[in-house]
Amino acid sequence: MGITQRSWGFTPEGEAVILYTLTNASGASVEVTNLGASLISARVPDRKGALADVVLGYKDWQSYIADAPYMGKSVGRYANRMGDAKFTLDGKEYLLPPNEGRNQLHGGRATWADRIWEGRVEGNRVVFSIASPDGEGGYPGNMTAETAYHWSDECELEIVYSAETDAPTVVNMTNHAYFNLAGEASGSAMGHELQLNASTFIPTRPDNIPTGELWPVEGTPMDFRKAKPLGRDIDADYPQITDAAGYDRCWVIDGWRRNILGEAGFLYDPVSGRKMTILSSQPGIQLYSGNFLKGSPVGKSGAPYANRTGVALECQGFPDAPNHPNFPSQTLRPGERYIQKIVYAFSAES
Residues designated catalytic: 176, 314
- CA–CA separation, 246 and 44 (whole Å): 28
Q: Which of 247, 314, 303 is nearest to 56 (CA)?
A: 303
Q: Which residues of 192-213 are buried (b: 16+ CB within 10 A; e: fewer)?
A: bbbbbbbbbbbbbeeebbbebe
- Nearby residues of 347 by Cβ (< 8 Å), 6 or more positions away: 155, 274, 275, 277
Is the backbone peptide bond immediately before 333 cis, with ω within 30 degrees of 0? no
Pairing of strands 16-23, 86-89: unpaired
3-state secondary structure of 138: helix
Q: Can you name the residues that pair with 23 across neighbouring β-strands?
A: 2, 29
C-alpha separations of 176 from 153, 179, 302 in Å: 23, 10, 21
Within a 10 A sphere around the Cβ of 125, how many other Cβ atoms? 19
Q: Which of 292, 302, 264, 2 is nearest to 126 (CA)?
A: 2
Pairing of strands 262-268, 92-95: unpaired
Q: Which of 257, 228, 247 is nearest to 328 (CA)?
A: 257
